[in-house]
Structure 1
Amino acid sequence: MAETTGISWCDRTWSPWFGCTKVSIACDGCYAENLMDLRYGKVTWGPHGERVRSSAAYWRNPRKWDREAAAAGRRFTVFPSLCDPFDNRADPAIRAEWFALMRETPHLVWLLLTKRPQNIVAMCEAAGGLPENAALGATCENQEIANRNVRHLLDAARDLYPVFTFVSAEPLLGPIDFTKIIYGTAGDYLVVRDALKASDIERIGWVITGGETDQGKHRARPTATTWLRQIRDACAAAGVPYHHKQNGEWQGGITAVRSEAGQFALHWPHDPGRWAYFDYAPRMFDRFGIDACATRVGKKASGRLLDGVEHNGFPASPADHPL
């Protein structure tokens, strides 16, 4: 909501309205809900809460940033962090006004990340079409959600021609193979596509990963290092930019021995989505190895490094090019 942001993959954050409804397990620890509802009390989250339009003064910020980007000779990226652009309960008139604002700010690239990619095409058409400076993204926290959301995202990209497409696998709560996205069935067979190596229009153009952080009473769930490596390596093989935002509250391997409840977690390889929690370092950790266990060390201590490397990939887009 400010001039700068702590989010490593964008330049600014700005939202036309505040409020949303949880639609998947990725929403369990929603930071926007914790910030705007539970801490500030500015909006009621959930299906019965209203979507509150941001102030007129706040709506002037993107035009100011557009002028600053023009003066800087590069395009700024803007992410609506406190709403879902394609929320069913949002006022279509506000969305249309927002899309008009996007068209009036050509030196900004708008990162439209949604957990509802099935709504993209219809809602863009109702708002006068997707602005030329908008990128389309979908959240995918595990393989099941990726199979659904990637298909809707790339179908929308084929119809709307965004600046680029992207996926946010944050919080990453299970393994995802973006090279084997299930698109449907053909008779008795599954239709599987490599979403990283398809044509430019029908492939993922950027992947972001991240571990979960604590939000209010919600305690973060671990992300297995092997899940992150799989996505990183698949992106590298396909030439897709990869950005790892954070490891979250947990870090792979045993880094400390404390008696704090829930300090250690063991990932069971036979059940990719299941973790067992311990108050001490069990001997089984030695058997399963560093890739199968995690220690709760806190977001600051876990940092952003994956195997000692900071990954800051961004897509080739107008945001990377001088004006």
Structure 2
Amino acid sequence: MALNSSIEWTEASWNPVTGCTKISAGCQNCYAERLANRLKIIGIPRYRNGFKVTVHEDVLDYPFKWKKPRMIFVNSMSDLFHEEVPEEFIIRVFNVMNLATHHTFQVLTKRPERALKIAGRLKWTENIWFGVTVENFQAKDRIKILQEIPAKIRFLSCEPLLEPLYELNLSGIHWVIVGGESGPGARPIEADWVRDILRQCQKQNVPFFFKQWGGKYKSKNGRLLDGKIWSQYPGFAMVSV
């Protein structure tokens, strides 16, 4: 499953789970749902269930086959902490990440409540980065839950950014990604929303990554923010002019 990824802040994707259900405003135009249903139509066996939650035991060992160290986005086509994913399967996914220490795994969820509930059963090795999606003011409560998760690196994905996010408490947060929505029906993003989050990150000394402006055809709009490409990561910063 996707040795290489077109997502700007990662290098590969690994999908031991596919499928999800909508839970908040950011889910409205879900790219993964569109893609999964398209793959079902063209007959890709792994997507025979379309966007219904499906576990794939046969790909659990994939990270061991990738010898070159990579940043790996876990479940780009799902949410590992979806209520329909068996707890024991989540533990097995973590076991793989715990053993494949040459990789960095980036786990992103909109369901941090479940992650916190079972956090004690999981081993949070240093190569696991854990994040939550914060697309609007209503989703800010996820940050408080994230701050209780015992991951070494905790991050926010403010994508699709749907409104300003003022007064972010970034204590214990190590990375912030911001991006506009892309694809059909993409909702607009305003530059001042992005600039404000950048200022908050700089004030609180948190690395900032601007992924894209988005739009129906995101490649046309790029990812320049006031003439710069912001590609900072936890532990080191990369800012290109």
**TM-score, with normalisation over the residues of structure 1?**
0.67
| Aligned-partner SS, 1:173 | coil
Aligned-CA RMSD value: 1.9
Residue 205 of structure 1 is matched in structure 2 by 174
Structure 2 unaligned spans of 5+: 42-46
Q: Deviations over 1:194-219 (max 9, x none)?
A: x23x3xxxx211000001011xxx50
Does residue 172 of structure 1 match 2:167?
A: no
Q: How far did residue 84 of structure 1 move? A: 0.8
Q: How far did residue 60 of structure 1 move? A: 3.1
Residue 193 of structure 2 is matched in structure 1 by 227
Contact 2:181 2:214 in 1 (8 A): yes
Choose the corresponding residue for 2:77, options 65, 82, 86. 82
Contact 1:12 1:78 in 2 (8 A): yes
Residue 242 of structure 1 is matched in structure 2 by 208
Choose the corresponding residue for 2:233, options 314, 317, 321. 314
Residue 60 of structure 2 is matched in structure 1 by 59
CA distance in 1 between counterparts of 2:103 and 2:38 reads 31
CA distance in 2 between counterparts of 1:11 and 1:39 reads 22
Q: How far did residue 54 of structure 1 move? A: 2.4
Contact 1:99 1:131 in 2 (8 A): no
Contact 2:132 2:156 in 1 (8 A): yes
Q: Deviations over 1:74-94 (max 9, x none)?
A: xx2111211112111112222
Residue 279 of structure 1 is matched in structure 2 by none
Q: How far did residue 37 of structure 1 move? A: 2.5
Contact 1:86 1:123 in 2 (8 A): no
Residue 136 of structure 2 is matched in structure 1 by 142
CA distance in 1 between counterparts of 2:145 and 2:57 reads 32
Partner letter of residue 102 of structure 1? M
Q: How far did residue 55 of structure 1 move? A: 5.5
| Aligned-partner SS, 1:37 | helix
Residue 120 of structure 2 is matched in structure 1 by 125
Does residue 108 of structure 1 match 2:103?
A: yes
**TM-score, with normalisation over the residues of structure 2?**
0.88
| Aligned-partner SS, 2:147 | helix
Residue 289 of structure 1 is matched in structure 2 by none
Q: How far did residue 315 of structure 1 move? A: 0.6
Partner letter of residue 226 of structure 1? D
CA distance in 2 between counterparts of 1:155 and 1:310 reads 31
Q: Percent identity between the aligned chains?
A: 32
Residue 44 of structure 2 is matched in structure 1 by none
Residue 32 of structure 1 is matched in structure 2 by 32
Greater Rg, structure 1 or structure 2? Answer: 1
CA distance in 2 between counterparts of 1:59 and 1:120 reads 19
Aligned pairs, how many? 230
Q: How far did residue 152 of structure 1 move? A: 0.8
CA distance in 2 between counterparts of 1:110 and 1:31 reads 21
